[in-house]
Amino acid sequence: MTRFWAPRAWIGDAVANDVRVTASEGLIASVETGATPDAADHRLDGLALPGAINAHSHAFHRLLRGRTHGDGGSFWTWRELMYREAGRLDPDSYERVATAVYAEMVAAGWTSVAEFHYVHHAPDASPYAPAHAMERALARAARASGIRLTLLDTCYLSSGFGSPLEPAQRRFGDADAETWLTRLSALRGAFADEHPEVVVGAAVHSVRAVPVAALERIGAELDPAIPLHVHLSEQPAENAACIEATGLTPTGLLARSGLLSSRLSAVHATHLTDDDIHALGAARASIVMCPTTEADLGDGIGPARRLADAGARLALGTDQHAVVDPLLEARALEHGERLASRRRGRFSPAELVAALTRGGASAVGRSLGEIAVGQPCDLLVVDETSARTAGSDPGQLVLSATAHDVTRVIIGGRERAVGGTHTDLGPIGDLLRKAMSA
C-alpha cells in the first residue's frame, strides 16, 4: 500500500479538500476527504488532478518543432517536411526519439497516450525482420518512460482518392485491407505475450488514404471491441475530394462503411457540416481535438461546443507536439471557442478537466481519468503558488497553470516525474538533444 495526501484534489467534477488516496498494486484502493496527513503519507503539495490522457500522438513529429516556420507555407508543405523525417527513422532511432518524447509527456502531466502509428516498414517498403520492429520500439519507449501506451496500428493504402501511395508514403502502407488486418492480428497476438501493458488498437489514416472498398471491409471485419481512430475533415481539400469521389462527406462515408460508432475517435473534426455534427453526436463518437497543432498548422477552429452539445465526447491530444502541455491544450480548446464565438466560458473549467482526463478514456481503450476507487493511481500535481497560479481559484487552475507548474507525476502509484525531470531518465532536454543528435 502507498498513501498520498494532498491539500486539494479533483474528485468528480470539483475540488475536494484534504484528500488521502491509497494505492495498491497500481490501483486506487480508497479515497478519503477531510483527512489529516500523517507520517505514513507521501505529501503532494498542490492540487492533485487525474493523470492527463493524450488521445492523439505522432511521436516522431516532435523532430519538426521550431523548424517549419521559416517560409510560412501550409499544411501540405509542412507534410513534405514530415515525410522527410519519417524517411530517416529506423527502429533504433525511433526508440530513442519516442523514449524522449514520452518522457517529455510524462514530465508535463500526460500519463497515457494514444500513438497513431503508421511508420511500419523499412524505407523501401519491405517488412522488418523480425516483424513489428517499429511497433516494438514504441512499446519499449513507453515502458522506459512509464507512460500507458495505446498503439494504434494504422491502415494507410493510398495517397488520395484513386491514387497510389507516393514514394515517401510507401513504408506506411500495406498491400490491401486484408494484408493490414492480418498484420494487425499478428501484432495483437505478439504484444499479448511480449507487451501486455500495451493496448493495441487500430486506425484508418483518413478517408483519402483508405479506398472505399477497404473502408467497407474494415467496417465488416475489424473486431468491434478494438478502439478505432481516424483523421477526419482536417482540411477543406479532403472534404471536397471526398464529395467529388463518393458524393459523401468524410463523416458520411465512415457511416456508410459501418465505421461510425461509439468506439470511433475522430481526430480534428475541424470542417464539418451540420449533418456531420449530428451524426457524430448521435453515434456518441469521441472527438479528439488537438488545438495547439490545429493552430500551428493553420487548420482552423473546430466546432467543439456544438459537437459536445450534440452528444459527442471530447478528448485532447498533442498530435505533432509543437506543444507538450496538457493545461495549455485544454486552455486552447476554450480560447478557440472564444475566438470563434466572441464569447467567454464556452467550456467550464470542469468540462476542460474532463476533456483532459476521462474524455480520453474511450480513445485509449482503458478505464481511466478519475480519482476514484478501482481506477489506476495516475495523478499530476499542480503548484498553486507559482508566478502563474498564485491567487487562482483552485477550481480554475486549468485556465492559469502550465506544465511548468506540474510538480509531480504519479503513474500506477509510482512517482515518474518531479519538477519537470523524469525520475528514471533524467532531464528532458538532455534526452531530447541526445535523441535528435543521433
Q: What is the chain's length?
A: 438
List, for residues 347-390, the tens digit of each pLDDT value: 999 999 999 999 999 999 999 999 999 999 999 999 999 999 99
Contacts of 325 (CB under 8 A, 6+ apart): 108, 109, 292, 402, 403
The whole-number pLDDT of residue 276 equals: 98
Containing 150, the helix (H) or strand (E) segment is strand 148-155
Which amino acid is present at 353? V
Query: In the predicted model, what is the mean pLDDT of residues 50-61?
Result: 98
Q: Collapsing DSSP states into helix, strand and coil, what is residue 160?
A: strand
The vertex-388 CA angle with 416 and 333, nearest 5°, equals: 80
**Banded model confidence at residue 76, pLDDT cuts 50, 70, 90:** confident
DSSP state letter for 127: P
Is 319 a catalytic site residue? yes
Strand runs labelled E in 223-360: 228-232, 264-268, 286-289, 313-316
Q: Which residues pair with 371 in a beta bridge?
A: none
The pLDDT of residue 200 is above 90? yes
For 250-291, how does the pLDDT look when each residue is reduced to its tens digit (9 = 90+)? Answer: 999 999 999 999 999 999 999 999 999 999 999 999 999 999
Task: Indicate the average pLDDT of the chain.
Answer: 97
Mean predicted confidence (pLDDT) in 325-340: 98
**Domain covering 2-50+372-426 in this structure, CATH number:** 2.30.40.10
What mean pLDDT do residues 167-171 have?
96
Task: Quick: pLDDT tens for 127-142.
Answer: 999 999 999 999 999 9
The catalytic position among 153, 276, 296, 319 is 319
Does 433 have pLDDT greater than 80? yes
The whole model's pTM is what? 0.98
Q: Find the catalytic residue in 268, 271, 321, 422.
A: 268
Are 265 and 286 within 8 A, CB to CB? Answer: yes
pLDDT band at residue 29 using 50, 70 and 90 as cut-offs: very high
Predicted pLDDT of residue 300: 97
- Mean pLDDT for the stretch of residues 105-119: 98
Residue 90 is a catalytic residue: no
Looking at domain 52-364, its CATH architecture is Alpha-Beta Barrel (3.20)
Question: What nine digits make up the cell of 187?
Answer: 501484432
Q: What gap in Å lies between CA 387 and CA 405, rounded to an integer? A: 9
Q: Is the pLDDT of residue 65 over 90?
A: yes
pLDDT at 438 over 80: no
Using alpha carbons, list the distances in angstroms from residue 214 to 36, 200, 217, 262, 393: 59, 20, 5, 21, 51
pLDDT grade, residue 179 (50/70/90)?
very high
Instruction: Give domain limits for the chain.
Output: 2-50+372-426, 52-364
| pLDDT reported for residue 75 | 85
What's the confidence (pLDDT) of residue 393? Answer: 98
Q: How far apart are CA 327 and CA 331, in angstroms?
A: 6
